[in-house]
């Protein structure tokens, strides 16, 4: 997948993108979610990542049996974030919007040549510092199961409705850097807190 800096627009939307995100919590991001819009080698890679061999590897790695890849690319696929784009800390949507299966495993592959740390790392509530024309490029895949163990659900009750992406604002700081931020489940619904004031 070559880089085409001239095709990355200021708002982060790229030609051929199926979705362009321009929200306070997720911005300057494009996604491609249909394999017929992808190049041949990318399609071959996705085929492997959804194969029996790789799915079995993930089951062994995670200890979660009967994982299902998603041929529909709901929320997954190719992601591009332009310079200045950011993605707030969040909990992912937990049920497949089409078939209500339970989302259990995420796989991300980052495809950026020469990407020094100062451009911004993989989780990025801080805006990307990459030079204009360089997009943070990633492949995302999500794997599902039909139901999940009750101890993974609030009050051991998994019967509730699924939720969409739950963005969280850090408490005690304007922005949250990865190494100062942690999840705190002790005060009602989970929040992300920092002990370090930033800016």
Binding-site ranges for Fe ion (CB under 5 A): 92
Nearer to Fe ion, 18 or 92 (CB): 92
CB-neighbour burial class of residue 146 (10 A; exposed 0-12, middle 13-18, buried 19+)? exposed
3-class SS letters over 94-124: CECCCCCCEEEEEEEEECCCCCCHHHCCCCC
Distance of CA 32 to the CA centre of its chain: 13
Q: Shortest distance, CB of residue 140 to Fe ion, whole angstroms?
A: 8
Q: Shortest distance, CB of residue 70 to Fe ion, whole angstroms?
A: 14
Nearer to Fe ion, 76 or 194 (CB): 76
Spatial separation of the C-alpha atoms in residues 114 and 171, rounded to whole Å: 34
Give the DSSP letter of residue 169. P
Nearer to Fe ion, 92 or 184 (CB): 92
In the complex, residue closest to Fe ion by CB = 92
Distance of CA 88 to the CA centre of its chain: 11
Q: Shortest distance, CB of residue 93 to Fe ion, whole angstroms?
A: 8
Q: Shortest distance, CB of residue 2 to Fe ion, whole angstroms?
A: 26
Nearer to Fe ion, 7 or 164 (CB): 164
């Amino acid at each position: 997948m070559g880089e085409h800096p001239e095709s990355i627009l200021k708002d982060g939307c790229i030609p051929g993108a199926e979705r362009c995100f321009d929200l306070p919590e997720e911005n300057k991001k494009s996604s491609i979610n249909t394999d017929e819009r992808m190049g041949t080698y990318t399609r071959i890679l996705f085929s492997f990542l959804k194969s029996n061999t790789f799915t079995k590897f993930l089951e062994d790695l995670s200890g979660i049996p009967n994982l299902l890849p998603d041929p529909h690319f709901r929320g997954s696929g190719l992601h591009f974030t332009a310079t200045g784009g950011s993605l707030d800390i969040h909990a992912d949507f937990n049920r497949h919007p089409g078939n209500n299966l339970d989302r259990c495993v995420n796989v991300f592959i980052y495809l950026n040549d020469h990407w020094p740390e100062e451009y911004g790392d993989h989780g990025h509530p801080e805006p990307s510092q990459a030079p204009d024309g360089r997009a943070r490029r990633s492949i995302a895949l999500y794997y599902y199961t039909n139901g999940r163990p009750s101890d993974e659900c609030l009050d051991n009750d998994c019967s509730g409705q699924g939720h969409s992406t739950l963005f969280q604002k850090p408490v005690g700081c304007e922005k949250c850097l990865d190494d100062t931020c942690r999840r705190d489940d002790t005060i009602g619904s989970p929040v992300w807190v920092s002990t370090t004031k930033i800016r």
